[in-house]
Amino acid sequence: MSVYIWIIIGLVSSIALVLLIVTLRRISRNLAMIRSGSVSPENSRPAENEDREDR
C-alpha cells in the first residue's frame, strides 16, 4: 500500500515541478519583453510578428 502512496507523491511532485518551470519561463520571457519596451505592462500578450522573430 505504501508503494502506491510513494508513486502518487512522485507523480504529483514531478507534475508540479514541470508546471513551476513552465510558469517561471513564461514570466521571465514577459519581463524581458517589458524591459525591452516592445510590450506594455498592461498587455502581456506579444504581437504576432515579435513572437515569430523570437523563434
CB 29 within 8 A of CB 17: no
Which H or E run includes 1? none
Q: What is the pLDDT of residues 3-44, one digit of tens each?
A: 999 999 999 999 999 999 999 999 998 888 878 876 555 555
**What pTM does this model have?**
0.51
> Amino acid identity, residue 51?
D
The string of DSSP codes covering 21-55 is HHHHHHHHHHHHHHHHTSS-TT--SPPHHHHHHH-
**Cα dihedral sign for 14, 16, 20, 23?**
positive
Query: Residue 49's pLDDT band (boundaries 50, 70, 90)?
Result: low
